């Protein structure tokens, strides 16, 4: 893989703009494809990022 170059930010911005135009189903499919191409180490980072988002707050959900 090539090292990140000065145009990384511009390329990332273009990807995000395109991503924002897609349907939710297309976004999910794309992210699944990205994750499948990542290594175990990267999966750990993604897991750490997502874990707090996916934890349910059971206290506030109580009636």
Q: What is the pLDDT along the chain (63 residues), one digit of tens a residue?
A: 666 677 888 999 999 999 999 999 999 999 999 999 999 999 999 999 998 888 877 677 777
- In Å, how far from its chain's centre is CA 45? 11
What is the domain extent for residue 35? Answer: 23-55
In a domain, 35, yes or no: yes
In a domain, 16, yes or no: no
In a domain, 1, yes or no: no
In a domain, 50, yes or no: yes
**Apex 31 CA angle, 43 and 50, nearest 5:** 50
> What is the model's pTM?
0.75
For position 3, what pLDDT does the model report? Answer: 67
CB distance 43 to 35 below 8 Å = yes
In a domain, 46, yes or no: yes
Q: Which residue is it, tokens 């990267």?
A: 42
Q: Which residue is it, tokens 């992210």?
A: 31
CB distance 28 to 39 below 8 Å = no
Q: Count structural domains, the chain.
A: 1
Q: Provide φ and ψ at 40, rounded to 5°.
A: -55, -40
In a domain, 2, yes or no: no
């Amino acid at each position: 893989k090539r090292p990140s170059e000065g145009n990384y930010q511009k390329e990332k911005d273009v990807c995000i703009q395109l991503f924002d135009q897609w349907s939710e189903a297309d976004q999910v499919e794309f992210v699944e494809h990205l994750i499948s191409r990542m290594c175990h180490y990267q999966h750990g980072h993604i897991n750490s990022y997502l874990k707090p988002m996916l934890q349910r707050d059971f206290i506030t959900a109580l009636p």
